[in-house]
Amino acid sequence: MKVSRRTLLKGAISGATVAAVGAPHFFIPNPAFAAPWIEKGGKIKVGVLFSQTGNLAVVENDSTQVVLYAIDEINANGGVAGMQVEPVVVDAKSDIKVYSEKISQLILRDRVISTFGGYTSASRRAVAPIVMARDHLFYYPTCYEGRECTQNIINTGPLANQHSQDLIPFMVENFGPKVYLIGSNYIWPKESNKNAKVWLERVGGEVVGEDYVPLGGSEFTPIFNKVRQQQPSFIFSTVVGDSDIALHKQYLQEGFKVDKMPIASLTTGEIETRAMGAEAGAGHFLSAPYFQTMENPTNQRFVEGYLASKYGGGGVTHYNMEETYLSVYVWKHGVEKALATAGDIEEVTPRMIRDVSGNIEVGDDISPEGRVWIDPDNFNIWLKPKIGQCQSDGQFKVIKAADEHVGPDPMSIYPERGVCKADGLHQPDGTVKTSVL
Amino acid sequence: MNGNIYHNRKAQWAIYLAAFAALALLPIFFDSPFTLNLLARYCVFALLAVSVSLVWGYAGILSLGQAIAFGLAAYGMAMTMQMQYQDPVSDPIPSFMLTNELETLPLVWAPFWSTPIGLILTFGVPTVFFIVFGILMFQARVAGVFVAIMTLAMTAAWYSMAYDMQPFTAGFNGISPPLPFQIFGTEVDPYSAGAYWVCVAFLAVLTLGAKFLMQTKFGLIVQAIRDDAERARFLGYNVAYYQVVVFALSGFLAASAGFCWVLIVQYVSPTSLEIVFSISIVIWAAVGGRTSLLGAIIGAFLVNGMQSFVGDELQQVWMLILGAIFIGVVLFLPRGLAGFFELVLGLFSGRREPQKSDWNTGRTSAVTKESAE
Amino acid sequence: MSVNDFWTPFALLPFLNALIIGISLISIWLIAALGLTIIYGTMGVINMAHGEFIMLGAYSTYVLQTLIGIPFLLCLPLSFLILAAIGWVIERGVIRTLYRRPLDTLLATWGLSLILVQGVRLIFGGEPQYVGVPSWLNFQIQADFIHLSGLRLFIIVMAIVMVAVTWFLLYRTTLGICVRAVMQDKEMAASFGIDANRIYSLTFCYGAGLAGVAGSMFGALKTLFPDMGGGYIVEAFLVVVVGGVQLAGSVLSASLLGELNSIFSYFTNDTFARFVLFTLVVVFLRIRPQGLLAEKMTRR
Amino acid sequence: MSLLELKDVTKVYNDYVAVENFNFSVTDGELRCLLGPNGAGKTTCIDLITGRQRLTSGAILFAGDDICRLPEQSIARLGIGRKFQVPAIFKELTVEDNLEVAFSRKKDPFANMMTLHRSYGQKRYDEIVELVGLKDRLSSQAGLLSHGETQWLEIGMVLMQDPRLLLMDEPTAGMTEQETMKTSEIFNSLKGSHTLVVVEHDMSFVREIADIITVMHMGTMLAEGTLEEIGNDPRVKEVYLGSEGLG
């Protein structure tokens, strides 16, 4: 089969040269390299794939910095399994096309064992095909909508179901049942809103309006027009990025009162409140697993250590950075566990790390937000969501923290699709489907 | 112009053939799947630049809408590949549709169950759209700057559409088919030499076809229309007809690029329909030389290659350099690198052909002529 | 997606309010497009960096207000001057060599916009910055279905002022006569002793200055970040082209587009409104390429 | 029999009447000069005949058929060639290619996609090249020609169309005296074999070539006749009074 295909092409395209090289692969993948992913005596290479330039750099540059900070910390403490970690940092330039180009460079050329990267779902989906085709391992360290069930991505940010579980009942209890949903116009806000509706129903709340603005859109008057008509008890916001800042500024200009109708957001963190000015942010609520002001020794060490290091130029820590920081430690523990299973570091493959990552725990001594662990079925993270209220200095005061860890459920609102397990999506008809995107 | 070897047709064909042969042979030297895939991406960009060179350089229609054809084809291809992954019984709809409460496959997706029909739509829809859009514009004798702005607005409209129609397009997240393209019982791995050769073959065949076409009388008339549409009209040519044909051809080229793109990247999102992307294509062609198809290819390889390699080294200042290059090319090399070669080769042949490039001013120069008279 | 989710049913009061909001959108579209109208109309220069001029205006306000402490109202004229100065440099350095090559100005100014965005990012960083709204603008007008914030009202008033000043300059001053003369026929104007190059310089400076004022106000209303200009450029161009590249036309087309946008987003959503609007504009340009107000172009 | 006939042709722009109830006819093989002061409506007439502008009322007959609703290219294909007041040529193309585009009989894009050959060497083609004196300039870029050469090139292109009727809008504008002389030679050699309508200002040129002259004024026909008759017409004198007159 292979030979005949080759002969055919040879005639058609490039004649005898093909035979000269003996190029063994045409439409089929290059046979796997025999070389090990990690070489004894060398360094362990990991990919760092965020945007350092362009409009996404605002957030993703911090992600790069915090990954480097975590790796420095790990190396200073003896590395992983006695080996030093070497980050391969690439710049995705805020361009979706470049994400897909750079991930293939990391996997195929640089042969990193795992990659940390991405802040937007779009970038995750752009890298997913090759990550899955090469059975690689990708750590996606931020909020995420779920509904996927892949065997090559580990997520260390909160899922939609983890966000809403505490926030919605809290808001309804304190401000009233009527909610107006405002989000950026893409999938994550829509999924988050669906989860929010599930919880609203349970606590007797009611949706009085739902609106989406384009990404980067900054005109909220038409929406506030409808909000004024509906008189909701609070606004539930999944508006991201620059739009989020415009939302808060225009909220203030429109004369809404934060004690009457506050915004409960899944996105407005320390970076955003600083950029919108203190008076625009103060009084609103945020659901996140982490706040810079959390009071525990680990967080104190993390904030002080990070801000004092050469990576801490941004001046704040926030939930996205902390989740990224955690992902590096999740990976570290994964490699160590895989080594224990395989016996030889040269035997360790990306997929092996992923397969042993279930139940891996990052303890109080490392995790600034407190103990977290990876779900053994769907490889998302167990965490304690918290609710913070923005103060006049742009920092958040934690006013409610979950007592128990909340489990991640990527299929929470799609039970009819099946259950996500380690080996794939177990569909209702009994079949198992892998790589569900 | 006899003396200048740049204008010698035999020499031109020799150079073109040599260039494509070299591209086809590259896998010998770069066996790394990453490099092959990267080069294949450049070939796709080069094909886009060729489509701009055809429509702008030869026909004088500055289209900022090439991304429309590219994006539509890319969506078509991604939908074809996504449906190859779906199963009619156990998993009949792509999972992103669930977010939007779709329970059955929407009508626009249904034809993509069949790969041949999917492929026909991939190439057909953008081409037909360009024919319709072309008729709309050129029948009304829209020209020059207005073409640029109308295509720009149309690109923005399609972007909003792809972005907003989330039940059908997955919106900003885009569609990433989980498996590579399957055809004739084979899987086309995006990182294989085969996938690379598919891209090179598309680039070579379509470029050579365009080159041939521009040397026929059709090409001559197209260039005549670029110089003075009214004159051509009074010589009995249906100018709008010619413009629609060229515009549709360039749309087909851009659509082919979109097809190849998803073949080797397995992903599409509304960014493929972005204005920024659409203008970048024009810039590649401008850098390489819009009046030369090979020049456009070189421009695309050069700018994107620099972006991949130099861009990483110089990170923060890279965009400054890129911007400066564009300005420099427009100011000092209006015909791009190809024009520069033409000039240099002209010097060697002992006769210097003055560079004239005011044809693209269209109306302005017509006005000047009148007032001068 | 059911039809009912997508379409908001009609109701009179919110709809009337949408019309009022439309006025506020009009003012923004108009302010963004005003400088472009002047530059494109007079010089035939397609300034793709116009959005970046707006961005620079916003950043100069940020610098003046936050770093130096100048009150907001005073920032407006200062932004005008700063941008006019930047415009002068750019006109001398780049634009001057490109007269009569409108499509080339499009490409060159595109390159320019890359430089400006990255330059600002290098200096101020990529994170969003903040322009404060003066406290005397923190009021709302509320009566029946009308609801308008102080800042919106201020922007509407400023739009009227900017149009009025531009109209006065163009139609009631000697300089304006010269500009219009050059606009109609450069050679003829030159033969009357008008220095067309000087007029071009001044026009470009003035157009850039207007973008500066626009930036100051958008900075207060929205968010400051290096890419913010890209969000205005397409709309601004459509306003200019639909209006027929003249002052009154731009006012008319901004009014039309702003109201339509507001009405469409009332019935559907903002993204879909954009799609409908852009498509309408394309169809409109096919029927009337000369724009709303301009006379049919005479060909050679 | 008249080849071209304008019947009660009227063209109104907004409020301005450019041509009013203009009647005009040209017989086969004739060379007609169309005279008149600026704004008399001469170029408008040519625009109306060639379809560049649409008439407000009236009719235009070409070889007996009404052509005033046809698009420009169809009128051109019927056999009406036109030289513009401001020379219109394809500046970026060579002289040879300019003539080639004009010479080509095939107008359909798809038919032309299969055609590679050039017409150089065909008898009629070579004759016209000879006639307009551009033989040595064939490979030059048209944009680089002198003003006179540009005019001849356009005349050559119109001839290449092999039209039954040639409309020449100020063919000698901007030419030196010598060039004008050469142009009049070209025109005289066309007499008889072609039907020509020439719009001119230059009286010395008109004298060289004219048989019958039509004078327009304010969009209407003022006078028609031989050179001598026109020269003695008091109305014509009045119109031209103060300008250089008709000498």
Give chain D's domain count. 1
Q: Which residue of D has its CA nearest to B357?
A: D92
- In angstroms, what CA-CA distances link B148 with B275, C108, D236? 11, 15, 50
Q: Grade residue A15 by pLDDT with cuts at 50, 70 and 90.
A: very low
Tell me how crowded residue B362 is: count the other CB atoms within 10 A of its CB: 22
| Amino acid (one-letter) located at C178 | C
The pLDDT, as a whole number, for residue C111 is: 92
Three-class DSSP category at D166: strand
Question: What backbone phi and psi angles, to 5 degrees, belong to A115?
Answer: -130, 135
The partner residue sitting opposite B327, judged by closest CB among C1, C94, C278, is C94
Is A38 a domain residue? Answer: no
A216 found inside a domain:
yes
Nearest Cα of chain B lies from the Cα of A126 at a distance, in angstroms, of 6
- Cα B114 to Cα B120, B264, B303: the distances in Å are 10, 20, 38
Q: What is the pLDDT of residue C181?
A: 86
- Given A321, A342, A374, the domain boundary residue is A374
Q: Which residues of C touch A (CB under 8 A)?
A: 5, 8, 13-14, 17-18, 21, 24-25, 28, 118, 121, 126-130, 132-133, 137-140, 142, 147, 149-152, 221-223, 225-228, 231, 262, 265-266, 269-271, 274
Find the domain containing A185 and state its range. 159-288+384-437
> Encoding tokens for residue A17?
């040269």
Q: Where are the domains of chain C?
A: 27-229
Each residue's pLDDT tens digit, C119-145 = 998 998 887 888 888 888 888 887 766
CA neighbor of A47 nearest in space, from A56, A39, A55, A37: A37
The per-residue pLDDT for B61 is 93
Model ipTM value: 0.89
E strands present in chain D: 2-13, 16-27, 31-35, 57-62, 65-66, 80-83, 165-169, 195-199, 212-217, 220-226
Asked whether A88 and A112 are in contact (CB, 8 A), the reply is: yes
How many domains are there within chain A? 3
Q: Do the Cβ atoms of D161 and B236 come within 8 Å? A: yes
Strand partners, B188: B181
Q: Quick: pLDDT tens for D180-207.
A: 888 888 888 888 788 999 998 777 888 8
Task: Please determine, for residue A404, whether its predicted confidence score (pLDDT) is greater than 50.
Answer: yes
Any domain includes A379: no
Contact A221 C24 (CB under 8 A): yes
Q: Say if strands C140-143 and C146-149 run parallel, antiparallel, or are unpaired.
A: antiparallel
Chains in touch with A (3+ beta-carbon pairs under 8 Å) read: B, C
Same domain for A426 and A284: yes
Q: Which two tokens stand for residue B6?
A: 């740049």
**Does the pLDDT of residue B372 top 80, yes or no?**
no
Residue A114 clears pLDDT 60, i.e. is over it: yes
Task: Tell whether D11 is covered by a domain.
Answer: yes
In whole angstroms, give the CA distance from residue D223 to residue A123.
79
Q: What is the mean pLDDT of residues A418-431?
A: 89
The number of C-beta contacts closer than 8 angstroms across B and C is 153
Domain CATH number, residue D213: 3.40.50.300
Q: Over 90: is that where the pLDDT of C98 sits?
A: no
Average of per-residue pLDDT across A120-133: 91
Give φ, ψ of D148 to 5 degrees.
-60, -45
pLDDT value of position B364: 33
Which helix (H) or strand (E) element contains residue A91? strand A85-91
- For residue B124, the model assigns a pLDDT of 96
Give me the pLDDT at residue D207, please: 84
Contact C275 B161 (CB under 8 A): yes
Which pLDDT does position C5 carry in this prediction? 56
- Report which DSSP code applies to D175: -
Element of type H or E holding A212: strand A206-213
Residues of D in contact with C300 (CB under 8 A): 84, 86, 88
D91 with B356: Cβ contact below 8 A: yes
Quick check: C128 and A242 CB within 8 A? yes
- Say if residue A301 is in the same domain as residue A258: no
Which chain B residues have a beta carbon less than 8 Å from that of A92?
Answer: none
Q: Which of A285, A346, A317, A258 is nearest to A42 (CA)?
A: A346
Residue of B nearest to C108 (CA): B327
Residue A78 and residue A11 share a domain: no
Task: Tell me the pLDDT of chain C averaged across its residues.
Answer: 86
- Could you report the per-residue pLDDT of D67-92, keeping only the tens digit for each? 888 999 999 999 999 999 888 999 99
Which residue's entry shows tokens 């904030």? A303
Judge residue B266's burial from the number of C-beta atoms within 10 Å of its C-beta, 0-12 exposed, 13-18 middle, 19 or more buried: buried
Using a CB-CB cut-off of 8 Å, the residues of chain D touching B352 are none
pLDDT tens, residue by residue, C228-256: 888 888 889 889 988 888 889 999 999 99
| pLDDT at residue A32 is higher than 70 | no
Contact B299, B49 (CB under 8 A): yes
Among B215, B238, B370, the residue with its CB nearest the CB of D73 is B238
On whether residue D246 sits in a domain, the answer given is no
**What DSSP letter does each residue of chain C carry, written as one string?**
--HHHHSPPP-HHHHHHHHHHHHHHHHHHHHHHHHHHHHHHHH----TTHHHHHHHHHHHHHIIIIII---HHHHHHHHHHHHHHHHHHHHHHTGGGGTT-HHHHHHHHHHHHHHHHHHHHHHH-SS-B--PPPGGG--EEEETTEEEEHHHHHHHHHHHHHHHHHHHHHHHSHHHHHHHHHHH-HHHHHHTT--HHHHHHHHHHHHHHHHHHHHHHHHHHS-B-TTTTHHHHHHHHHHHHHHTSSHHHHHHHHHHHHHHHHHHHHHS-HHHHHHHHHHHHHHHHHH-TT-SSSPPPPP-
Give the highest mean pLDDT range of A9-13, A33-37, B115-119. B115-119
Check C285 against B153: CB less than 8 A apart.
yes
| Biggest CA pair distance of chain A | 78
How far away is chain A from the Cα of C192, in angstroms, using its nearest Cα?
48
pLDDT of residue D241: 56
pLDDT by residue (tens digit) across A249-308? 889 888 899 999 999 999 998 888 887 877 888 999 999 999 999 999 999 999 999 999
* Contact indicator for B221, B213 with CB cutoff of 8 Å: no
CB distance B235–D139 less than 8 Å? no
Mean pLDDT value across chain B? 87
Q: Does D237 touch chain B (CB under 8 A)?
A: no
Q: Please check whether residue A422 is in contact with residue B165, taking contact to mean a CB–CB distance below 8 angstroms.
A: no
- Residues (pLDDT < 70) of chain D are 1, 241-247
Those of residues 105-144 in B touching chain A at CB distance below 8 A are: none
Beta carbons of C102 and B160 less than 8 Å apart: no
The reply to whether residue C187 touches residue B371, judged by beta carbons under 8 angstroms, is: yes
pLDDT band per the 50, 70, 90 thresholds, residue A433: confident
Asked if D202 is an interface residue toward chain B (Cβ–Cβ < 8 A), one would say: no
- C271 and B283 within 8 Å at the Cβ level: the answer is no
Query: Is residue B164 predicted with pLDDT exceeding 50?
Result: yes
**Is the dihedral angle over the CA atoms B221, B224, B225, B231 positive or is it negative?**
negative
Question: Is C278 in contact with B154 (Cβ distance < 8 A)?
Answer: yes
Give the gyration radius of chain D's Cα atoms.
18
- Contact assessment for residue A166 and residue A387, using Cβ atoms and an 8 Å cutoff: yes
**A338 and A206 in a common domain:** no
Alpha carbons C13 and C15: distance in angstroms, whole number: 5
Q: Which helix (H) or strand (E) holds A285?
A: strand A285-288
Handedness of CA B230, B236, B241, B245 (dihedral sign): negative
Residues of C whose CB is below 8 A from A245: 128, 222-223
Closest CA to A147 of B109, B101, B79: B101
Q: Which residues of A touch C226 (CB under 8 A)?
A: 55
Contact (Cβ atoms closer than 8 angstroms) between residue A244 and residue A272:
yes
Are A311 and A212 contained in the same domain?
Answer: no
Which burial class, exposed, middle or buried, applies to D12 when counting CB atoms under 10 A from its CB (0-12, 13-18, 19+)? middle
Q: How many CB atoms lie within 10 A of CB B69?
A: 32
Q: Do B238 and D89 touch (CB under 8 A)?
A: no
Considering only CB atoms, which chain B residues are within 8 Å of A50?
A: none
Q: Are residues A188 and A275 in the same domain?
A: yes
In B, which residues are within 8 Å of D120 by CB distance?
none
- Which of the residue ranges A7-16, B215-224, B361-370, C195-204 would you say has the lowest mean pLDDT? B361-370
Of the candidates C151, C225, C271, which has its C-beta nearest A214's C-beta?
C271
What pLDDT, on a 0 to 100 scale, did the predictor assign at position B356?
A: 40
Predicted confidence band of residue B40 (pLDDT cuts 50, 70, 90): very high
Name which of A134, A251, A77, B362 is nearest C103 in CA terms. Answer: B362
Chains D and B are in contact, defined as 3 or more C-beta pairs closer than 8 angstroms: yes
Nearest to A222 among C139, C266, C274 (CB): C266
Q: How far is it, in rounded angstroms, from Cα A221 to Cα A223?
A: 5
Distance CA B226, CA B322 (A): 29
β-sheet with D65-66: strand ranges across? D16-27, D2-13, D57-62, D65-66
- Residue D232: domain span: 2-240
- Residue B3 has what pLDDT? 65
Please state, rounded to an integer, the average pLDDT across all residues of chain A: 87
pLDDT at A44 over 60: yes
Identify the residue among C92, C114, C284, C290 best suited for mutation to test binding to B, counting B beta carbons within 10 A and taking the highest. Answer: C114
Mean pLDDT of B47-60: 96
Alpha-carbon distance of C41 to C43, in angstroms, equals 6
